[in-house]
Amino acid sequence: MIDHFSIAAPVYDRVLGPPDTRRILRLLRLPARGMLLDAGGGTGRVSGHLQGRVGGIVVTDLSRPMLEKARRKGLTAVSAPAECLPFPDGSFDRIIIVDALHHFRCQHGAIAEMSRVLKPGGRLLVEEPDLRRMSVRAVALAERLLRMDSRFYPPDAIVGMMRQSGMSASVAATDIFRAWITGDKPGQPGSEAYRRQV
């Protein structure tokens, strides 16, 4: 099987360009204390821009060359599949999955795993190409031709996966190509996060 991302790692950040940091900060409700997980975070192209806005950042990915780039940005880089993370329950206050969910082997399993490692009261933000757009369907076809084994889901289906995993979820924003979906894990009764919910 072709390891597309390890091949692309040397030029990845230059080709993709910087993220929409302002939007991500707003949707993630940053700055905040605590730990942020960037799952399928690759080179840390996105979370590298969030340094100083959270207590700490961990990038997980399967591609070692991508993770090596993240490490050079001062991020903690861990080789691990999104579907089975080597962290205890409730380890993270915030989680992002940017442009990566459709590359994971099991999208439902990965979202359930994010819910497990998210702290009560924590937030998951997924940014994905919006499959309702024709342009995204063309990308999905191109990725199939490139044998990338991608599986795209429309935003509502991602909302459904988050709800099945016990989060309250909604489509928080869209543009002409992408959708941002947020999932909030219920806080523990009596906690500040719980009081904000009720």
Residue 89 beta carbon to ligand SAM: minimum distance, rounded to whole angstroms: 19
Residue whose CB is less far from ligand SAM, 70 or 193:
70
Going by DSSP bridges, is the β-strand pair 178-184/56-61 parallel, antiparallel, or unpaired?
unpaired
Residue whose CB is less far from ligand SAM, 38 or 93:
38
Residue whose CB is less far from ligand SAM, 23 or 191:
23
Residue whose CB is less far from ligand SAM, 59 or 167:
59
Residue 47 is classified by DSSP as G
DSSP code string of 139-170: HHHHHHHTT-------HHHHHHHHHHTT-EEE
Find the residue with minimal CB distance to ligand SAM: 42
Residue 12 beta carbon to ligand SAM: minimum distance, rounded to whole angstroms: 7
Find the helix packing angle between 107-117 and 155-164, rounded to 10°: 50
Binding site for ligand SAM (CB under 6 A): 5, 16, 40-42, 45-46, 60-63, 66, 81-83, 98-100, 103-105
Residue 119 beta carbon to ligand SAM: minimum distance, rounded to whole angstroms: 21
Residue 81 beta carbon to ligand SAM: minimum distance, rounded to whole angstroms: 4
Residue whose CB is less far from ligand SAM, 63 or 91:
63
Going by DSSP bridges, is the β-strand pair 178-184/118-129 parallel, antiparallel, or unpaired?
antiparallel
As a whole number of angstroms, the distance between CA 133 and CA 174 comes to 11
Residue 138 beta carbon to ligand SAM: minimum distance, rounded to whole angstroms: 16
| Sign of torsion over alpha carbons 150, 9, 77, 182 | negative
As a whole number of angstroms, the distance between CA 151 and CA 104 comes to 8
Residue whose CB is less far from ligand SAM, 84 or 196:
84
As a whole number of angstroms, the distance between CA 104 and CA 153 comes to 12
Residue 94 beta carbon to ligand SAM: minimum distance, rounded to whole angstroms: 14
